[in-house]
Structure 1
Amino acid sequence: MHNATLEIFDPGDSGFDYLALTQLITDRIAFVPRYRKVIRPVLGSLANPVWIDDAGFDISYHVRRSGLPRPGTMEQLRELTGRIMSRRLDPNRPLWEVYLIEGLADGKVAVLSKSHQILVDGVETVDLGQVLLDTSPEPKQLVHEDWEPRRAPSPLGLAVSAVAESLRDPATVLATGQTAAERLLRRAEEGRNRLAAVAGVLANRRPTPDSPISAELSEQRRLVTVRTDFEDYRAIRLAHNTSVNDVVLATVTGALRNWLLARGTSSSKMRNLRAMVPMSVIDDELEATSLGSQVTPHLVQLPIAEASPLVRLHQVRYAFQAHRDTGQAVAANRLAGVAGFAPTTFHALGSRVAAQSQRRHFNLTVTNVPGPQFPLYAAGARMLETYPVQPLLPGHALAIGVTSYDGGVFYGITGDRDALPDLAVLGQCITEALEELVDHTTGGRTRAPRGRPKTAKKPSP
């Protein structure tokens, strides 16, 4: 259950290196106090586990340095990221790590931030990545904090406090009982699954997956990244009266279709794919977050069996229309205007919502979060690219995160390494599906090659 973000920076003349990153996190970690806490159980399970300050907190343990053989490629960076994401976090320490990865071509560096899902709730704690970036190359000057960990209570003290709190607040007893019941249900379900698997082996039967992307997960992960041009989404949105979110989901749908067809998947199996797409809403009945909106689950039947890219786009638009009609939907420009680089927090909240909705039948989680369309900086280094790395739910071999930022739309595709050895093909299909939508929108007119700068107009005499 690791949430992560892979960001690529151009240090320029900023001197951005491991020491600068460590100092930046040291200066900003006060904004995310949970990143200096550990989880401790309560004696006798009289209450849910509690957060306490890590008496031996060591920033150098959490901020790490790695490198690629120069000149490092994106393929090597993705491979390293997948291996780091496959390693579990130490439960006896605060549940996060940040890696500075050096050696990329053209002097670029990457920052991979990794944290457990439980760290970010959007209420008391946002993602660390949200507080590290500035809108200008000059970092904000902050007042230095002299932090000292509070003395940890004894196990008996925790138990006595839990009993006292339960007597004061019956809702705490209810929450504790609910957590215990959910834990027992999970164990019972795991036991049933193991018995079913053993019975299948004895009967010489293999379990039939719910979808082509369902699998029993290994602990190994694989990452594919895709960078696309935000202007393409804007052009499609304007031409077909849709939203950028609709275009993103239609692109994902088209990519999944082409990828599954290349794998020889039958059309009958493609009709049953449902995606969980967490959406931001404003709802007084939901728990408020510090970001000004809540995140709720939204199930979408992906029209993967549809051959026409434009029909897929309008079917996706129709699927999200009910959400827009509620009047509670949050506009993309409002999300992009949240202070700090909020996509990292919203992706984390989206994965939490998906994990809490596992009993609702779906096969894939897709989180799409708009970011600012202007550059951001970490200790003076400009962020060029940002890729979300989403966790995989049990039985789900695939998860997709999308972030728009500074003229780009960045896809982070996480897959189980053993179950999806051809994940790179899906990345290629993302690019092809977007180009297909653009071609149908422009009527096949020739587009300028990607990355070519616009020709400057000659000044008038």
Structure 2
Amino acid sequence: MALPIDPTATGFLLAESRTMPMHVGSLQLYRKPEDAGRTYARDLYEQMRSDSTDLAPLFLRRPHRSLATAGQYTWVPDEQFDIEHHLRHSALPKPGRIRELLDLCSRLHGTRLAHERPLWEAHVIEGLRDGRVAIYTKMHHALVDGVSAMRLLQRVLSDDPDERDMLPPWAARPKRAKPADESADRNLVEVTTNALRTAIGISAEAAGMPGAFIKTVRRAARNEAAPIAFNPPRTILNQNITGARRFAAQDWPIERLKAIGRASDTTLNDVVLAMSGGAIRRYLLELNELPDEPLVAMVPIGLKAKESHLPSADGGNAVGMVIAQLGTHLEDPAARLTSISDSMRSGKEALATMTPTQIVAMSAIGMSPAILLPILGARGSLRPPFNLIISNVPGPKNTQYFNGARLDGMYPLSIPTHGVALNITCVSYADDLCFGLTGCRRTVPHLQRLLTYLDGELDALEKAAGV
């Protein structure tokens, strides 16, 4: 049965091209169980393949449009699903360093997903010289946002190292039994009342949309934090991109960032932005490309699935955004952190005056140049809506296991676009904050140097905060 595709997902499908694949990814590093044999990686691959006879509906969807759909995209189930196309087994060349692993993930992430098949892949990767096994996965942004992808991963992990017979993310789960009295509680009067409340709520939100738009435009015109930006400076990061990707990843103890936040009365996300802003400043200075005006970043804000009517655990995109100034014109790291914190606080206060639906609408308007220009073939003709994307996705708070293998780290891969060649995404996991930097291989030279600059900025922020 065909399912409608929401406008945001349709935009991701239409904007996609060979040079701009629109999927998000994740790299997970697992330490083998103590009783693992020499063929552990192969056995893991075979087990995951054998557990894939019954798939969750999300992982069987493929996009389809025709005369019958009036040219509109719909989701249809793949009637000829082939698990061996989607699940693959790879090995790294010697010497099997993290460098070789990141090179492989860079190449895999630069390959576009085929629209005639369900839009996901998973790769079991062996050959790391330290004996660990990696799993790289990617899913189209039309299917999931970052929070949804994290929830899909978390539901297959366990904090019990002895738990076995765990299913991969794409396998169907047994449906939970409904409470016996559920049908009795939801009588016709309640259903009708809830429908009426929903209709009234939607009407009220629609009526408030023009006012929310005017307020957003006014904030953007004053260069205040908002879901829209008018005057970001043009940098080397803001050019047309190629399809080739480079991926760099590293993690830092999350307590180091939290200590800076406590000492400076700022949030963890403020510290992430300050680290990133300082690293970008050093990177552009080294290339003699730092503009006088501060760079601005698009910062995604996750919305509650219930409030935004988008069930994130089952896919979809429930995301708003704030445009934050990164203080790259400021040399002092403490001043930069304060400036970023003020910018984010102002943006959150602006979002607090909107409903979730209004936030999504305003954010869609702010993102529209990055999506619509490639669709219309007009890329490069206008200034980018922001200089880069920096996001922070909450992950598991405790050490996790998959069939006895301990998850050592999880690193996100995201989407560079024409005009926005760099994406920095963080995922919190246990005691660490894992950074994943995804960039165009040609437009962002020496991307891996940003890891060194991030580390230096963390040291500088600690010194400035006195921790």
TM-score of the two chains, using structure 1 as the length reference: 0.70
8 Å CA contact 2:386–2:420 kept in 1: the answer is no
Deviation at 1:69, TM superposition (A): 2.7
What SS class does the counterpart of residue 72 from structure 1 fall into?
Answer: coil
Q: Which among 6, 12, 26 is matched to residue 5 of structure 1?
A: 26
| 2:338 pairs with 1:317 | no
Call closer, same or farther: CA 1:29–1:404 in 2, change over 3 Å: farther
Partner Cα separation in structure 1 for residue 336 and residue 134 of structure 2: 36
| 2:435 pairs with 1:411 | yes
What SS class does the counterpart of residue 66 from structure 1 fall into?
Answer: strand
Partner Cα separation in structure 2 for residue 423 and residue 375 of structure 1: 29
8 Å CA contact 1:22–1:60 kept in 2: the answer is no
- 1:212 equivalent in structure 2: 236
8 Å CA contact 2:164–2:404 kept in 1: the answer is no
Output one character per residue of 1:154-206: Cα deviation in whole Å (capped at 9) or x when no partner.
xxxxxxxxxxxxxxxxxxxxxxxxxxxxxxxxxxxxxxxxxxxxxxxxxxxxx
| 2:407 pairs with 1:386 | no
Deviation at 1:134, TM superposition (A): 1.8
- 2:12 equivalent in structure 1: none
8 Å CA contact 1:54–1:94 kept in 2: the answer is yes
- 1:112 equivalent in structure 2: 136
| 2:463 pairs with 1:439 | yes
Deviation at 1:399, TM superposition (A): 0.7
Output one character per residue of 1:100-135: Cα deviation in whole Å (capped at 9) or x when no partner.
111112210111001111122699998643433222
Identity of paired residues, percent? 31
Deviation at 1:289, TM superposition (A): 3.2
Give the aligned residue type for 1:278: P
Output one character per residue of 1:280-309: Cα deviation in whole Å (capped at 9) or x when no partner.
245987434345994211111211010111
8 Å CA contact 2:278–2:333 kept in 1: the answer is yes
- 1:162 equivalent in structure 2: none
Call closer, same or farther: CA 1:278–1:121 in 2, change over 3 Å: closer
Aligned counterparts, 1:150-169, within 5 A: none
Call closer, same or farther: CA 1:288–1:39 in 2, change over 3 Å: closer
Output one character per residue of 1:37-63: Cα deviation in whole Å (capped at 9) or x when no partner.
222213265152222221221222211
8 Å CA contact 1:117–1:352 kept in 2: the answer is no
Aligned counterparts, 1:45-444, within 5 A: 45-46=69-70, 48-120=72-144, 128-139=152-163, 210-268=234-292, 271-282=293-304, 286-290=308-312, 294-325=318-349, 358=370, 361-442=385-466
What SS class does the counterpart of residue 57 from structure 1 fall into?
Answer: coil
Call closer, same or farther: CA 1:41–1:19 in 2, change over 3 Å: farther
Query: 46-55 vs 254-263, which deviates more?
Result: 46-55
Deviation at 1:441, TM superposition (A): 2.2
Partner Cα separation in structure 2 for residue 146 and residue 309 of structure 1: 48
8 Å CA contact 1:355–1:393 kept in 2: the answer is no
What SS class does the counterpart of residue 448 from structure 2 fall into?
Answer: helix
8 Å CA contact 2:299–2:323 kept in 1: the answer is yes
Give the aligned residue type for 2:403: A
Call closer, same or farther: CA 1:125–1:108 in 2, change over 3 Å: closer
Partner Cα separation in structure 2 for residue 326 and residue 354 of structure 1: 14
8 Å CA contact 2:235–2:290 kept in 1: the answer is no
Partner Cα separation in structure 2 for residue 252 and residue 353 of structure 1: 25
Deviation at 1:373, TM superposition (A): 2.6
Deviation at 1:256, TM superposition (A): 0.6
What SS class does the counterpart of residue 88 from structure 1 fall into?
Answer: coil
- 1:448 equivalent in structure 2: none
Partner Cα separation in structure 2 for residue 63 and residue 230 of structure 1: 33
Q: Any gaps of 5 or more consecutive residues in structure 1?
A: 148-208, 330-350, 444-461
What SS class does the counterpart of residue 17 from structure 1 fall into?
Answer: helix
The size of the alignment, in residue pairs, is 360
- 1:36 equivalent in structure 2: 60
What SS class does the counterpart of residue 12 from structure 1 fall into?
Answer: coil
Partner Cα separation in structure 2 for residue 402 and residue 9 of structure 1: 19
8 Å CA contact 1:309–1:437 kept in 2: the answer is yes
Give the aligned residue type for 1:65: H
Partner Cα separation in structure 2 for residue 232 and residue 19 of structure 1: 38
What SS class does the counterpart of residue 69 from structure 1 fall into?
Answer: coil
Give the aligned residue type for 2:248: V
Query: 45-54 vs 290-299, which deviates more?
Result: 290-299
Partner Cα separation in structure 2 for residue 13 and residue 413 of structure 1: 32
8 Å CA contact 2:23–2:138 kept in 1: the answer is yes
Give the aligned residue type for 1:83: R
Call closer, same or farther: CA 1:40–1:106 in 2, change over 3 Å: same
Output one character per residue of 1:354-374: Cα deviation in whole Å (capped at 9) or x when no partner.
855737821211111122231
Call closer, same or farther: CA 1:44–1:52 in 2, change over 3 Å: closer
Deviation at 1:421, TM superposition (A): 2.1
Output one character per residue of 1:429-452: Cα deviation in whole Å (capped at 9) or x when no partner.
111111111122237xxxxxxxxx
8 Å CA contact 2:30–2:405 kept in 1: the answer is yes
Call closer, same or farther: CA 1:353–1:113 in 2, change over 3 Å: farther
What SS class does the counterpart of residue 130 from structure 2 fall into?
Answer: helix
Partner Cα separation in structure 2 for residue 352 and residue 107 of structure 1: 44
Deviation at 1:267, TM superposition (A): 3.9
State the Cα RMSD in Å. 3.4
Output one character per residue of 1:352-399: Cα deviation in whole Å (capped at 9) or x when no partner.
998557378212111111222311111211111111101112221111
What SS class does the counterpart of residue 434 from structure 2 fall into?
Answer: strand
8 Å CA contact 2:280–2:450 kept in 1: the answer is yes
